[in-house]
Structure 1
Amino acid sequence: MSQTFVLPDVGEGLTEAEIVQWRVAPGDQVAVNDVIVEIETAKSLVELPSPFAGVVGELLVAEGATVEVGAPIITIAGADAAPSVVGQSEHGEPAAAESEGEGAVLVGYGTGGAVQSRRRKPAQAPVKSSVGVVAKPPIRKLARDLGVDLADVTPSGAAGEVTRDDVVGHASQASVFRNIQTPEWPQVREETIPVAPQAAASAPASAAAVAEANGEREETIPVRGVRKATSSAMVRSAYTAPHVSVWTDVDATRTMELVKRLKASPDFADVKISPLLIMARAVIWAVRRTPMINAAWIDTEDGGAEIQVRHYVNLGIAAATPRGLLVPNIKEAQSLNMRELAAALEKLTLTAREGRTTPADQQHGTITITNIGVFGMDAGTPIINPGESAIIAMGAIRQKPWVVDGEVRPRWVTTVSGSFDHRVIDGDGVSRFVADVASVLEEPALLLD
């Protein structure tokens, strides 16, 4: 008997996913709940377990291809239907599998969008390939995206595994050597690189890598996954919410002094401290003083509208990751003390970099911070995250001449800027909120109230 496994709805309300990496090959023996494939949706990387036990017959979709929910992806010969748990319900209870005949699909992922990777091993366990390189799945995907052969990378992980920094460093070094000689302009003026679904497995990891290898003048990159979801959300936000942007320069010298003291404190020895921590506390403090900044515009079914004011803060942090822009948020951030918030920020950042941010981590945000200063930018006019009414940008902190008590002195200066939904909050509220954030960065002792 042979069973066909189709791409399931993993509970996110999405219609398609990309096959990132097959964990099995034709002829492999699999048991129920063995991870057989890693897929990427618009929001997360998900490992799918097998609902059948048997021998892998055919992989029906190539790595790199995007397929719709319900499409056949693998056959398993001599398969027995799963008699036990293969997933979780939206409430976390075990859920069984449907496996009646052809087209059996996994169920029990729930509809709330809180998808987790399904692993039989601990989530952090490195995965060893056939050539002996130890690396986690997100690191392998990053290597593919950057065109890095993991066999050439020197690992620095505690368990001998290749880390994200190892891959990025190797890619940067390779880029330096590739650019020692400036290539001639190619003879071909324009060329589009086709990425057909069935050809994707044999194509280079990215169109940019193809262009570099072959010297084309232009390349075409397919829009899918996180990039597709982000572009849709940003267009919807830009054309539905009337954005207004403001900014102000801030003397952040005392913030830098506080960061230095916290780094030296034994109470903060095991967590990362940065100016972003003070910025986060400042935003939470300012929200309490101007609650409308944390509200949301809701269109009602009768054609009207209402404003939903949230008396809690799910603090979003815009994160640039190998998969694209993600905005995970810290739930109930207003209830965390300084150390707890620092730990939450560190966990959020590491999770995003490793590609383990789940859809649940990105849902129900109320206000967002984007730290453009890490890229050397001073200010910007960011687009509001859908479902929110404000996004605050923290610029680079630089030493600049600043007038203090009538004298020009060198001070640490940054710019606080942001965009706001003018349907929800007026200019006076926006200005008061930004001024409050700036006040805390100038004098963090205000947080002691």
Structure 2
Amino acid sequence: MTTEVRSLREFKMPDVGEGLTEAEILTWYVKPGDVVTDGQVVCEVETAKAAVELPIPFNGVVETLFFPAGSTVDVGTAIIAIAVGEGAAEPAPAAAPAAVPAAEAPEAAVPERREVLVGYGPRTGGAQRRARKAPAAAAVPAPVVVIPVQPEPASAERPLAKPPVRKLAKDLGIDLRTVTPTGPDGVITREDVHAAVAPASAPAPVVEAVVAATPLPVGAGDVRVPVKGVRKATAQAMVASAFTAPHVTEFIQVDVSRTMKLVRELKASGELGEGVRVSPLLLVARALLTAIRRHPEINAAWDEANQEIVLKGQVNLGIAAATPRGLLVPNIKDAGSKTLPQLALALGELTDVARQGKTSPADLSGGTVTITNVGVFGVDTGTPILNPGEAAILAFGAVRELPWVHKGKVVPRLVTTLALSFDHRLVDGELGSKVLADTAAVLERPKRLITWG
């Protein structure tokens, strides 16, 4: 009886380069025994900032999946073992390459390839991981320890769906193999997943919710939802912000009838360019940027370590977006220098990418001021919490027809409420009030976009 020589390589959870220490494995695309090739996507993981599909960096046969889907794994921890070289099983009979003696080409002699997430460069320092408990039993010199993993049901082919749709199906407990696709080329859409939950119900307008959950039947018991990924990071950031930055919130009601008229005119004329989306949020963003240009001191951050106020050189305008993964705040870099058509294109692209779950960590960092559009949920106003590291956040409420004194008469006008929260350590009441009042003034008479901008 001869012992088969096996050469095993482990693929470790990559470091995204953003200071994150862990990621959740959302889905495995392979199982033990599958043949994989260099660059093939083997799983999808979610960090506190992004959902990313991980490609394997070498050829071989899957030997072990160390963690099942749903596990949260520290960066630098092996997640999959691949049998490579002489010991790897072949998918079909083929001429085997000449064996290389281990003494001539030891595994340790090959420079370690530093795996990274898509879009990131290699790490410059060593991997940092949490302290790990010692194993209960002494290690046995064996080729590999196989951890049982629940195999995926056999299927002719993997259903086609984007990562956010897969995450939605997972949250709703839907097996994508049972969903009928209606998208192009047989791709499963969000609507297909929702239809699988309640196929008898008529389609209704879908409002993106921060928490995606399956409706519970009447009388159901308590349900516990693990807090991880984006939701965990958001919770920690909001607590840190609320208890470190002294928040002040001011409110103002604004007659935005002229702004809404301008939105309709820009849509009808196509003046901003073909395919450019025009919305009230676009003009709110331009109005806030105009106010910041008049009062640049609000575009700042508090440096606790040095006890300094840092005045930012450019406005990176964050837009709070409710996505299936949780609340994200991607930002438009140097938004203050963009023309209205450029701002419209950047805003449309930013929201599309966020809803698809493809926002990169780079787009989520470096924000200086944020807008949260609570009006899309029919909410009039709120007291928004600052995005950590920023000095101000503006809440844009619902636009409603209300009785309003206009030219000496009470007439119906389109009115909204703006709420500005700011860090009172670096923004005093006068500065905050001026920024809020100027934003409202531009929305009341949008021609000021030209005269003030």
TM-score by length of 1: 0.79
Task: Give 1:145's match in structure 2, choosing from 155, 171, 193.
Answer: 171
Q: CA deviation at 1:49?
A: 1.6
Q: Which amino acid in the other structure matches residue 109 of structure 1?
A: G
Q: Is the 8 A contact 2:171 2:213 kept in 1?
A: no
Q: Is the 8 A contact 2:259 2:446 kept in 1?
A: yes
* 1:346 lines up with 2:352 in the alignment: no
- Rounded to whole Å, the distance in 2 between the matches of 1:444 and 1:226 is 37
- Rounded to whole Å, the distance in 1 between the matches of 2:224 and 2:309 is 42
Q: Which amino acid in the other structure matches residue 262 of structure 1?
A: L
Q: How does 1:250-269 map to 2 (within 5 A)?
A: 250-267=254-271, 268-269=273-274
Over residues 43-83 of structure 1, what are the superposed CA-to-partner deviations in whole Å (9 max), with x where a residue is unaligned?
10122221221101111110011111122211111259xxx
Q: CA deviation at 1:16?
A: 0.8
Aligned to 2:59, the other structure's residue is in SS state strand
Q: Is the 8 A contact 1:59 1:74 kept in 2?
A: yes
Q: Is the 8 A contact 1:27 1:56 kept in 2?
A: yes
Q: How does 1:42-441 map to 2 (within 5 A)?
A: 42-79=48-85, 106=115, 109-110=121-122, 130=156, 133-151=159-177, 153-168=179-194, 171=197, 209=214, 212=216, 216-267=220-271, 268-300=273-305, 304-441=306-443
Q: CA deviation at 1:276?
A: 0.2
- Rounded to whole Å, the distance in 2 between the matches of 1:386 and 1:100 is 45
Q: CA deviation at 1:174?
A: 6.4
Identity, % of aligned positions: 54
* 1:21 lines up with 2:23 in the alignment: no
CA shift in 2, pair 1:281/1:218, >3 Å: same
- Rounded to whole Å, the distance in 2 between the matches of 1:110 and 1:402 is 59
Q: CA deviation at 1:137?
A: 2.1
Q: CA deviation at 1:266?
A: 2.8
Structure 1 unmatched ranges of 5 or more: 81-97, 113-128, 178-205
Over residues 227-268 of structure 1, what are the superposed CA-to-partner deviations in whole Å (9 max), with x where a residue is unaligned?
111111111111110000001100000111011011112334
Q: CA deviation at 1:165?
A: 3.9
Over residues 294-348 of structure 1, what are the superposed CA-to-partner deviations in whole Å (9 max), with x where a residue is unaligned?
1111123xxx411111131100000000000000000011121111111111111
Structure 2 unmatched ranges of 5 or more: 1-6, 87-106, 125-154, 204-210
CA shift in 2, pair 1:393/1:99, >3 Å: farther
Q: CA deviation at 1:155?
A: 3.7
Q: CA deviation at 1:132?
A: 6.2
CA shift in 2, pair 1:79/1:354, >3 Å: farther
Q: CA deviation at 1:100?
A: 6.3
Q: CA deviation at 1:25?
A: 1.5
Q: CA deviation at 1:148?
A: 3.3
Q: Is the 8 A contact 1:390 1:421 kept in 2?
A: yes
Aligned to 2:447, the other structure's residue is in SS state helix
Q: Which amino acid in the other structure matches residue 445 of structure 1?
A: K
CA shift in 2, pair 1:101/1:176, >3 Å: farther
Aligned to 2:231, the other structure's residue is in SS state helix
Over residues 371-407 of structure 1, what are the superposed CA-to-partner deviations in whole Å (9 max), with x where a residue is unaligned?
0000111111010001100000000001111111121
- Rounded to whole Å, the distance in 2 between the matches of 1:26 and 1:423 is 56
TM-score by length of 2: 0.79
Q: CA deviation at 1:176?
A: 8.4
Q: Which amino acid in the other structure matches residue 396 of structure 1?
A: A
Aligned to 1:52, the other structure's residue is in SS state coil
Question: What's the counterpart of residue 90 of structure 1?
Answer: none
Q: Which amino acid in the other structure matches residue 275 of structure 1?
A: P
